[in-house]
Amino acid sequence: MNHFTCLLKHELRALFIAPSTYVTGVIFLLLMEFIYILILADFTLQPHDNLPSEYFFQLYWIPVFFIVPLLTMKSIAEERRMGTLETLMTTPVTATEIIFSKFLAAYLFYCLLWILTLGFPLLVNLTIGSSAMTVRLLDPATLLGGYIFVAISGLLFISVGIFSSSLTRSQLVAGMLCFSILFIIILGVPAVKTQSIGWFEWLEGALEYFNNFKHLEDFSRGVIDTRHIVFYFSYTTLVLGISVLITESKV
């Protein structure tokens, strides 16, 4: 546990002193702000049944595609390229501690970036300040459900990034691999499901279970179903476990 704390502190420190982290953060916030403004602009033009936050969280996948690869591609690939992974593995530290510390550091930063987006509805509410608006902008069930979904699904996305990074020495290859896997997980599965005809039909049930948007539906209504939590936790553990094995065998 001491090793893990030490490694986690080291990873967080490395993350917070790297200029690329701040560049990633700024790009993320600018993009999310732009999306939020577009949603609000659309709300002013026509009536909607749903809340702005629901639409906002439905677009969670846009930042995930670039934020997750940018945050994780360096983690193992760079250490392996530099040779520092080798020196790390000659200390009493295990590959599990290395992988989990890198995962947790990236995950905490990912969550921090999303928490900062809470500022958007708060700022709009502060500027406009009508009670009717407050109810729609800061609906606690939608916001809580949305952020819980982002936090829980982030576990799987970040673990995919760490897994991609553990496979190669090249950051670029790790980043591209992560993007491809995330694309398949997030957009590929619903695309296959909607196109499923004939011999794909038997897969429908399984694909439904893998569909991230299906999980989001419950969360954005404020329903926290343990099935979704088990899904994300179990797959995160599986992916991280494979990453540990790869790191152990490919020092």
Partner 1 sequence: MLNQEHSIEVTNLTKYYGPVMAIHEVSFNVEKGEIVGFLGPNGAGKSTTMRILCGLITAKSGSAKICGISIASNPDEIKRRIGYMAENNPLPEDMRVVEYLYYRGRLKEIPRKQLKDRVEETLELCDLNRTARRKVIATLSKGYRQRVGIADAILSEPEVIIMDEPTIGLDPHQVLMIRDLIKNLRGKMTVIISSHILSEVELCCDRVIIINQGHIVACGTSESLRNEFINTTTYTLNMKGNTSALDSLLREIDPDLEISSSLSVVNDDYYDLELTTPHTRNLSEEILTRLYEHPQFRLRELRRKVPNLEDIFLAATRRSWDEDIPLSNNKVDRGKKNNQETATVE
CA dist., res. 53 & res. 57, Å (int): 6
Residues numbered 15-34 forming contacts with partner 1, rule: CB under 8 A = 17-18
Residues 46-85: x/- map of binding to partner 1 (CB under 8 A)?
A: ------------------------------------xxx-
Q: DSSP secondary structure string, 71-106?
A: HHTTHHHHHHHHTHHHHHHTTT--HHHHHHHHHHHH
From 208, 204, 247, 200, select the one nearest 231 (Cα to Cα): 208
Which range binds partner 1 by CB under 8 A, 2-10, 38-46, 135-143, 231-239? 2-10
Q: Could you tell me if 251 and 85 are in contact, meaning their C-beta atoms sit under 8 angstroms apart? A: yes
Residue from 12, 31, 40, 88 touching partner 1 (CB under 8 A): that is 88
> Least Å distance between CB 106 and partner 1?
17
Residue from 59, 89, 138, 148 touching partner 1 (CB under 8 A): that is 89
Should residue 2 be labelled a site residue for partner 1 when binding is judged by CB under 8 A? Answer: yes
> Least Å distance between CB 9 and partner 1?
9
> Least Å distance between CB 169 and partner 1?
13
Should residue 42 be labelled a site residue for partner 1 when binding is judged by CB under 8 A? Answer: no
Should residue 169 be labelled a site residue for partner 1 when binding is judged by CB under 8 A? Answer: no
Residue from 1, 45, 46, 91 touching partner 1 (CB under 8 A): that is 91
> Least Å distance between CB 7 and partner 1?
8
From 104, 57, 102, 106, select the one nearest 84 (Cα to Cα): 102
Should residue 251 be labelled a site residue for partner 1 when binding is judged by CB under 8 A? Answer: yes
Residues numbered 97-126 forming contacts with partner 1, rule: CB under 8 A = none
